[in-house]
Amino acid sequence: MSEIIQTDAVIVGAGPVGLFAVFELGLLDIKAHLIDILPKVGGQCAELYPEKPIYDIPGYPIITGQGLVEALEKQIHPFRPTFHLGEMVERVETLGTAEKPLYRVATDAGTTIEAKVVIIAAGGGSFQPKRPPTPGVEAYEGKSVFYSVRKMEHFRGRRVMVAGGGDSALDWALNLHPVASRVILVHRRDEFRAAPHSVNAMRALVAENKMDLAIAQLTGLKGADGQLSAVTLRGADQSAFDVECDDLLAFYGLTMKLGPIADWGLNLHENLIPVDTATFETSAPGIFAVGDIITYPGKLKLILSGFHEGALAAQRAHRHVYPDKKLLFQYTTSSTNLQRKLGVS
């Protein structure tokens, strides 16, 4: 096992609310590690609506999703949070007691962190790859149907069907071309969202008969014991045909799923985490939850509400991290102590 990281707080989810929690914790000298399954920070704002304007962030009459994320990154920069991106938090284990909480957080990438408090800012759940719309696909997952490439070697000498028309699909079709015995790219239309140079590279290979391109949609899978033998496609003329292959690599975008949070022993109410609104602590002492993932009477799924929730969670988290220190209420405007932390004094 790799080395265990020791810190004050682990924040699960680097959406806007998780990001701002770093700020509120930082003002109280609480060091944070942030984990997100996405390869970038910003949660829904960055993934679902980066270019869209938001009109209800206090102090910003208008700001785009990505603009807000960038402003937040700048705002929390003085606290140097550690980011673990592209990793999904799988387990949260209790090591401490109710009086002296301690948690061990483990990701699917093997990162293990021990922290006094955990802040769950998991929003609508973790962004996970969408399944292709073929019945029975679950039985093949991890054996011959994949949504990302962890080991290129798996594909050596195999016939690989790559489904999709964006950068991931095209990049992997091109990267696997020298490794696989044959790459078959399938997309529903003869137009690609991917970068033009990869589309051109793909078209050149297809023209030389070194790669196959099928303009079609996936409708069925054939095989046994998790091993594919063929994929049924439906062409633009609505005719169905089978294409033999050993693996399918499908890129159908992302969807939000609650994911492993359900297994952490927390009380859940309709896939949301109930909290105490004075502290934003969950049913487990030392585990807090903020943002879209929580529920309480009057909860609004708004970014500004998530910011408020983070500020209150930080106050109570301070008690767990510094049980012997009294917390003094201070303003960033006038406290030289806070300004030193922000690097402005």
Partner 1 sequence: MTKVTYIDASGESRTVEAQVGSTVMETALRNSVPGIEAECGGACACATCHVYVADEWTEIVGKPSQMEEDMLDFAADVRPNSRLSCQIKVSEALDGLVVTTPVKQG
Ligand X SMILES: Cc1cc2nc3c(=O)[nH]c(=O)nc-3n(C[C@H](O)[C@H](O)[C@H](O)COP(=O)(O)OP(=O)(O)OC[C@H]3O[C@@H](n4cnc5c(N)ncnc54)[C@H](O)[C@@H]3O)c2cc1C
| Closest distance of CB 24 from ligand X, Å | 13
Site residues (vs partner 1, CB under 8 A):
47-49, 52, 130, 133, 164-166, 187-189, 191, 193, 217, 219, 252-253, 255-256
Query: What DSSP letter does each residue of 124-152 carry, written as one string?
Result: T-EEEEPPPS-TTGGGGBTTTEESS-S-G
CA 265, 271, 272, 274 torsion: positive or negative?
negative
CB burial readout 163-173, b (16+ within 10 A) else e: bbbbebbbbbb
Residue 184 site contact among ligand X, partner 1, none (CB < 5 to 8 Å, cut-off depends on kind): none
- Considering the complex, state which of residue 285 and residue 291 has its C-beta at the smaller distance from ligand X: 291
Residue 282 site contact among partner 1, ligand X, none (CB < 5 to 8 Å, cut-off depends on kind): none
Q: Are 24 and 74 in contact (CB under 8 A)?
A: no
| Closest distance of CB 252 from ligand X, Å | 17
| Closest distance of CB 165 from partner 1, Å | 5
* Rounded Cα–Cα distance for residues 233 and 220 (Å): 7
| Closest distance of CB 160 from ligand X, Å | 27
| Owner of token pair 């209420």 | 329
- Considering the complex, state which of residue 238 and residue 333 has its C-beta at the smaller distance from partner 1: 238
Q: Which of 149, 170, 167 is nearest to 158 (CA)?
A: 149
Number of helices (H), then strands (E), belonging to the chain: the values are 7, 20
Site residues (vs ligand X, CB under 6 A):
12-18, 35-38, 43-45, 48-49, 54, 56, 88-89, 121-127, 259-261, 291-292, 301-304, 306
Residues 6+ apart with CB under 8 A from 313: 21, 24, 119, 279, 280, 281, 288, 289, 290
The size of the chain, in residues, is 345
Residue 197 site contact among partner 1, ligand X, none (CB < 5 to 8 Å, cut-off depends on kind): none
* Rounded Cα–Cα distance for residues 74 and 53 (Å): 19
Identity at 162, one-letter amino acid code: V
| Closest distance of CB 127 from ligand X, Å | 4
Residue 130 site contact among ligand X, partner 1, none (CB < 5 to 8 Å, cut-off depends on kind): partner 1
- Considering the complex, state which of residue 13 and residue 165 has its C-beta at the smaller distance from partner 1: 165
| Closest distance of CB 89 from ligand X, Å | 4
- Considering the complex, state which of residue 271 and residue 337 has its C-beta at the smaller distance from ligand X: 271
- Considering the complex, state which of residue 88 and residue 218 has its C-beta at the smaller distance from partner 1: 218
3-state secondary structure of 168: helix
| Closest distance of CB 4 from partner 1, Å | 36
- Considering the complex, state which of residue 18 and residue 164 has its C-beta at the smaller distance from ligand X: 18
**Residue 9 region by backbone torsions, left for phi larger than 0, else alpha for psi between -120 and 50, else beta:** beta
Tell me how crowded residue 160 is: count the other CB atoms within 10 A of its CB: 25
Residue 217 site contact among ligand X, partner 1, none (CB < 5 to 8 Å, cut-off depends on kind): partner 1
- Considering the complex, state which of residue 28 and residue 63 has its C-beta at the smaller distance from ligand X: 63
Residue nearest to ligand X (CB): 123
Q: Are 86 and 39 in contact (CB under 8 A)?
A: yes
| Closest distance of CB 260 from ligand X, Å | 5
Residue 69 site contact among ligand X, partner 1, none (CB < 5 to 8 Å, cut-off depends on kind): none
- Considering the complex, state which of residue 186 and residue 317 has its C-beta at the smaller distance from ligand X: 317
